[in-house]
Amino acid sequence: MQGAPAYPFPSVGSNSAGMIVSGPDMSMGQQREASTAIGSFGDFTLAPVSPPGAQQLSQWPSGISDEQLAGRVAEIIATTDLMTITKKQVRQQIMAYFGMSSDEEKARREHINQCITTELEMRQASA
């Protein structure tokens, strides 16, 4: 075919799945617009995913990862009389151990409580 592009999709437009596609004859502005829209699906945006085993940087002011919290929860539960300790006391021990602010503890409270519940369930299943 004379004058037909060498690639099977339009320079700018939507493919059959409704995704924006781009070609080599687009202007820089068009390429930027297309690359911005490719990762967006309505209200959702694709986020980069770390490969398995990659060390993730903490987004929290203390720098403490979720894995570190879970590990410390496991240590506390393993060395404490479970008949006398409360979730609040576990969270207080976490705060003291890591030097975590009360604002961060409040923001991460649900995760810490889930770690406690998970650890207790694992111990009960192995008993």
Q: What is the per-residue pLDDT across 75-112, written as a single tens digit (0 to 9) for each? A: 999 999 989 999 999 999 999 999 999 999 999 999 99
Strands (E) in 3-43, as ranges, are 12-14, 20-22, 40-41
For tokens 């609040």, the residue is 88
Contact 90, 76 (CB under 8 A): yes
| The predicted structure's pLDDT at residue 126 | 86
The values of phi and psi at residue 52, to 5°, are -55, 135
Contact 15, 21 (CB under 8 A): yes
3 or 14, higher pLDDT? 3
| The predicted structure's pLDDT at residue 41 | 47
Q: Is the pTM of this model over 0.75?
A: no
